[in-house]
Structure 1
Amino acid sequence: MDPISPTFPPLKTLKPTPTAATTTTTSPPPPHNTTPFPEEVLEHVLSFTESHSDLNSVSLVCKSWYQIDRWCRRKIFVGNCYAVVPQVVLSRFKDVRSVTIKGKPHFADFNLVPDGWGAHSLPWIAAFSEGFPMLEEIRFKRMVVTDEGLELIAKKFRNFRVLVLSSCDGFSTNGLASIAANCRNLRTLDLCESEVDDRSGNWISDFPDSYTSLESLNIACLGSDLRFCSLERLVSRCPNLKLLRLNRAVPLEKLATLLEKAPQLVDFGTGSFLTELSTEAYLKLTKAFAGCKGLKSLSGLYDVAPNCLPALYPVCSGLTSLNLSYAAIHSPDLIELVGNCPRLQCLWVLDYIEDGGLEMLAQSCKELRELRVFPSEPYVQEPNVCLTEQGLVSVAMGCPKLQSVLYFCRQFSNEALLTIAKNSPNLTRFRLCIIEPECPDYLTNQPFDDGFGAIVEHCKDLRRLSLSGLLTDRMFEYIGTHAKKLEMLSLAFAGESDLGLHYLLSGCKNLRKLEIRDCPFSGRALLANTAKLETMRSLWMSSCQVSYGECKLLGKKMPRLNVEVMDERGVPDSRSDDCPVEKLYIYRSLVGPRLDSPAFVWTMNENTAQEVRLDNE
């Protein structure tokens, strides 16, 4: 027996009953038409194709289609900035106008990726400035962006239109000033959830007086006071401005002025909503909101004063999206506000809404498609809110179009999960976070195997799943058997043995991203499923039982993957091969190990692999 390839039992599968269609011998298909497909027609068809995977498939049909895609592709997506280097992209495509690049692993959002890990954007920006001078759009997510990079964008791309920096860091308002001063055709500036060195609010004054093209401005993550007179002038001279999300430093009494300047807004994020307004100021604000006839999305509402909420009521009937994840509005006021929004399709809210508020939501908002409920005090043992599984059950039973759920709570039951599964078969994203790790069904004290099993069995189009609570390997067998369209899975404090991980890797044919923390999994299931790992975009494991020796074997066995070990305790070679590593990150790469690894990251490959024999017992 191969010492590094443990065997696992196969998943139980149902064999189809033979039918006439499967037993009758069929004639061979007719020969393919050899008439060349007109290039002009194909170019026209590709111009309407938005899916990156579809375009990639087109390029593999034949050499001529590859060349057409090479010259006609205008948008590229890089799901991992270390999967390829900029030079490969430049040689592959010739006239790109829009790029989207993702950097750090998703668990960086939870501070699990060490500082200084990488994902530097400057090499990409520098390469694009030379190879794609007509580039118009850049979207970075979880990347390190510097002021130098922003200055390069501002100076090199003369027709630059869109800059989206989502969950990025490393830059300051000085870099934003360069963008404002030089990008005369800028339409979108979006700093969603980024960490910005906010040195001054004066950068907003760097937009030229002749600048009028702004359509979308999201600066909600900034902390300092903006120069309001400059912001007001900017808003007033941009007639196509549709999205404006302010930071909490913009006072409530200033909102009416901005809304009066931009009644065409579709998406508005308020600043602070706390100030006590005079009667005149309150009426002015109410009138300003009433003037925004096309407003569909509302967010912000920092530090809410409940007596100011009725000023929002004139626009509530038209809202389809409401983000209250930063609004500490308690249940009675929250119920009244949400109850005025019958067309809601998306609601983000704190647990202050409680079960009663979610029951009202289920009765009032039949178009709801997405619900996210966040904890107001996640580290308090017994918070003063009444939110249980019943709130989500009410929404599942009352909102037939529900597709996406993120739900934080402190108790749940298998019965509730079964009800949700039966009433919401259209779910594509289901993320349940029971705050207490390894918490069982509070009614039966049993694991959540049957409940989550019902979710993956009934929700046939499920693509993203996050699990919590007490779970055994049986649950992972359910996932491997039923979740055939699952693309992303997040696990924490779950499972019993490597068998559970084996069920996932051998059963989920479309799995692309797997995130695991604090689970009893070693590298055995990884070594037994290397073929599956090579089809995935990435695997993250932290605080598990994968040993350094297993990581070396993985690196040797999978030369087409980067197997990165992160350990801030020092060089792993100083410890024995059976010592568990802190973090493991495996991802596909066309170019081998990256060249900017920090001192705490080691890439396992043939040079680091040694002969290691693992006990299979």
Structure 2
Amino acid sequence: MNYFPDEVLEHVFDFITAHRDRNSVSLVCKSWYKIERYSRQKVFIGNCYAINPERLIQRFPGLKSLTLKGKPHFADFNLVPHDWGGFVYPWIAALARSRVGWLNCFPDSCTSLVSLNFACLKGDINLTVLERLVARSPNLKSLRLSRAVPLDVLQRILLRAPQLVDLGTGSYVHDPTSEAFTKVKAAFQKCESIRSLSGFLEVTPRCLLAVHPICPNLTSLNLSYAPGIHGNDLIKLIQHCKKLERLWILDCIGDEGLSVVASTCKELQELRVFPSDPFGGGNASVTEEGLVAISAGCPKLHSILYFCQQMTNAALITVAKNCPNFTRFRLCILEPTKPDHVTSQPLDEGFGAIVQSCKGLRRLSMSGLLTDKVFLYIGMYAEQLEMLSIAFAGDSDKGMLYVLNGCKKLRKLEIRDSPFGDAALLEDVGKYETMRSLWMSSCEVTLGGCKTLARKMPRLNVEIINEGDQMEFNPDDRQKVDRMYLYRTLAGPRKDAPEFVWIL
């Protein structure tokens, strides 16, 4: 390979798309490092404190796409304080000079736009400028709109961009008997290229009739932000989507609706069922019956996120037999320590069946009543596991040690409200060099244990987070820490930590 010109190698590298493979290529030799550096256009940063933006820009001067993660994963459950850090502004300041009138920043000569996503932006936008931008972008394939884009503008955009493959709608509220609805329905009928549909941030259920013509071609449907769609309207929509490979939906679909998905969507590969009311006291509308139906009807399923009200070992064992190709299995029972609701036993055997049957499992999230036994199963059978999230589980330090000793490819471990302490934390500190991060909150870890870890592993950042009850300058080492976040870094200790974050 060293005899090939750099231009040839750069063209070969274009076919290497996985971030991990690109990283490996750059380590082969200095020549490959240089070629990969200048040809790399997409970068994934799993922890914004693992590197600073200036070093990233220096390393990859041709960067066009950056995926950046800030707060630890448990931030989604309000366990990480709001002002803990993970601020995106330093990255924005380093990557761009201004965000002011951003639509006007596209010059009239710009006709190469491929993807535009502003679904999460609040406030008004210049609709006229948006329409002109879409009209002069014949290569636009993906467009995600915010609530600020009304139905009549959507109709005109669809007429100007019939080549769209991925569409996210904004405000979809209108009278189905109106002229605007008739026009948008006609516009959808001309969009034969759309394969991915999402959005419906505001929706009148009867307006869904307008998208029925494109449903037979859809491979991806995301209704996780559409609480206004439920019942028969939702089921009728799903029945038109026979080619779906990816479905994100709220639990208001119910077990009956999931049975319809199972009988209709034989190509389904990824399913996420979110709680329509995550703070409603465990009133999820789906149970183990819906999960079993999906596993029986969708043999190609390999990734699932399932929020439910109850679960049984028998159901999990059946799911493991029906879908041995799972690479991601995340189950969240809204009552976190609830046992098998039929036998009142822990769910160890059910999750044990998952890790034993699914040989390629890379990501696992568990809930329900669990003992150390399930961690023994994980350490024995989950050979490919890279990320594990657990809560309210285990009996002793043995549980955590089973995982750390057995899962050789583990990269991220997230633990909350579990009885693991210093013995498990310090048993094999060298393991953390091969991991991206470890999060522990409301466990039995002490300040002294964290200090010992920091001394032994100076290349790791060890953060103690004690919001409210802040530690004194020289507190008792036997004091339990509220939250501990450990991660690898090339940038050293971060400099923007608030007062309640102590970096050891």
Are residues 56 and 257 of structure 1, via their aligned partners in 2, closer, same or farther at CA, if it must alter by over 3 Å? closer
Aligned to 1:240: 139
Partner of 1:223, secondary structure, is coil
Aligned to 1:538: 437
| Structure 1 counterpart of 2:331, from 420, 426, 432 | 432
Are residues 86 and 304 of structure 1, via their aligned partners in 2, closer, same or farther at CA, if it must alter by over 3 Å? closer
Aligned to 2:84: 117
The answer (yes or no) to whether the contact 1:438–1:493 under 8 Å persists in 2 is: yes
Aligned to 1:57: 24
Partner of 2:171, secondary structure, is coil
Matches within 5 A, 1:350-361: 350-361=250-261
Are residues 57 and 151 of structure 1, via their aligned partners in 2, closer, same or farther at CA, if it must alter by over 3 Å? closer
Aligned to 1:221: 120
Select between 82-91 and 419-428 the one with higher mean Cα deviation.
82-91
Aligned to 2:346: 447
Aligned to 1:180: 103
Select between 322-331 and 359-368 the one with higher mean Cα deviation.
322-331
CA deviation vs aligned residue, 1:462-521 (integer Å, no higher than 9, x gap)? 111111001000001111111111111111111111110111111111110111111111
Q: Compute the displacement of 1:265 (Å).
A: 1.5
| Structure 2 counterpart of 1:372, from 272, 275, 285 | 272
The answer (yes or no) to whether the contact 2:312–2:347 under 8 Å persists in 1 is: yes
1:230 aligns with 2:230: no
Select between 426-435 and 302-311 the one with higher mean Cα deviation.
302-311
1:347 aligns with 2:247: yes
Select between 273-282 and 474-483 the one with higher mean Cα deviation.
273-282
Are residues 396 and 559 of structure 1, via their aligned partners in 2, closer, same or farther at CA, if it must alter by over 3 Å? same
Select between 465-474 and 568-577 the one with higher mean Cα deviation.
568-577
Counterpart amino acid of residue 545 in structure 1: E
Counterpart amino acid of residue 180 in structure 1: L
Are residues 308 and 94 of structure 1, via their aligned partners in 2, closer, same or farther at CA, if it must alter by over 3 Å? closer
Q: Distance in 1 between matches of 2:61 and 2:225?
A: 43
The answer (yes or no) to whether the contact 2:147–2:171 under 8 Å persists in 1 is: yes
Q: Compute the displacement of 1:93 (Å).
A: 5.8
Partner of 2:208, secondary structure, is helix
Q: Distance in 1 between matches of 2:241 and 2:39?
A: 44
| Structure 1 counterpart of 2:154, from 250, 255, 267 | 255
The answer (yes or no) to whether the contact 1:519–1:543 under 8 Å persists in 2 is: yes
1:480 aligns with 2:376: no
Matches within 5 A, 1:113-512: 113-121=80-88, 123-124=90-91, 145=92, 148=93, 151-152=96-97, 175-177=99-101, 179-184=102-107, 209-327=108-226, 328-381=228-281, 383=283, 386-512=285-411
The answer (yes or no) to whether the contact 2:212–2:237 under 8 Å persists in 1 is: yes
Are residues 360 and 239 of structure 1, via their aligned partners in 2, closer, same or farther at CA, if it must alter by over 3 Å? same
Partner of 1:587, secondary structure, is strand
Q: Compute the displacement of 1:273 (Å).
A: 2.6
Aligned to 1:108: 75
The answer (yes or no) to whether the contact 1:150–1:176 under 8 Å persists in 2 is: no
Q: Distance in 1 between matches of 2:170 and 2:59?
A: 44
CA deviation vs aligned residue, 1:323-378 (integer Å, no higher than 9, x gap)? 11122322211111100110011111111111111111111111001111111122
Q: Distance in 1 between matches of 2:202 and 2:27?
A: 54
Are residues 53 and 273 of structure 1, via their aligned partners in 2, closer, same or farther at CA, if it must alter by over 3 Å? closer
Q: Give unmatched runs, 5+ long, in structure 2.
A: none
Partner of 1:317, secondary structure, is helix
Aligned to 1:17: none
Q: Distance in 2 between matches of 1:382 and 1:53?
A: 39
Q: Compute the displacement of 1:546 (Å).
A: 0.9
Select between 526-535 and 115-124 the one with higher mean Cα deviation.
115-124
1:79 aligns with 2:2: no
Aligned to 1:48: 15
Partner of 1:115, secondary structure, is coil
Q: Compute the displacement of 1:379 (Å).
A: 2.5
1:567 aligns with 2:490: no
Q: Compute the displacement of 1:523 (Å).
A: 2.2
Select between 464-473 and 324-333 the one with higher mean Cα deviation.
324-333
Q: Distance in 1 between matches of 2:17 and 2:481?
A: 40
Structure 1 length-normalised TM: 0.76
Q: Compute the displacement of 1:438 (Å).
A: 0.4
Q: Compute the displacement of 1:534 (Å).
A: 1.4
Select between 300-309 and 555-564 the one with higher mean Cα deviation.
300-309
Are residues 422 and 87 of structure 1, via their aligned partners in 2, closer, same or farther at CA, if it must alter by over 3 Å? same
Q: Distance in 1 between matches of 2:148 and 2:285?
A: 31
Aligned to 1:189: none
CA deviation vs aligned residue, 1:284-325 (integer Å, no higher than 9, x gap)? 222111011111111112343232221111111111111111
Q: Compute the displacement of 1:583 (Å).
A: 1.0
Aligned to 1:584: 484
The answer (yes or no) to whether the contact 2:282–2:309 under 8 Å persists in 1 is: no
Q: Distance in 2 between matches of 1:324 and 1:65?
A: 43
Aligned to 1:127: none
Partner of 2:172, secondary structure, is coil
Q: Distance in 1 between matches of 2:100 and 2:372?
A: 49
Partner of 2:344, secondary structure, is coil
Partner of 1:349, secondary structure, is strand
Counterpart amino acid of residue 483 in structure 1: A
The answer (yes or no) to whether the contact 1:251–1:275 under 8 Å persists in 2 is: no
Are residues 350 and 280 of structure 1, via their aligned partners in 2, closer, same or farther at CA, if it must alter by over 3 Å? same
Q: Compute the displacement of 1:249 (Å).
A: 3.5
CA deviation vs aligned residue, 1:547-577 (integer Å, no higher than 9, x gap)? 1111111111111211111112223445321
Q: Compute the displacement of 1:223 (Å).
A: 3.0
The answer (yes or no) to whether the contact 1:456–1:462 under 8 Å persists in 2 is: yes
1:548 aligns with 2:447: yes
Kindly report the root-mean-square deviation, in angstroms, between the aligned alpha carbons of the 2 structures.
Answer: 2.5
Partner of 1:442, secondary structure, is coil
Structure 2 length-normalised TM: 0.92
Counterpart amino acid of residue 266 in structure 2: K
Partner of 1:534, secondary structure, is helix
Q: Give unmatched runs, 5+ long, in structure 1.
A: 1-34, 125-144, 155-174, 185-208, 605-617
Counterpart amino acid of residue 104 in structure 1: K
The answer (yes or no) to whether the contact 1:274–1:302 under 8 Å persists in 2 is: no
Are residues 53 and 329 of structure 1, via their aligned partners in 2, closer, same or farther at CA, if it must alter by over 3 Å? closer
CA deviation vs aligned residue, 1:81-127 (integer Å, no higher than 9, x gap)? 32234565566566655544433222223332223333345555xxx
Q: Distance in 2 between matches of 1:72 and 1:49?
A: 11
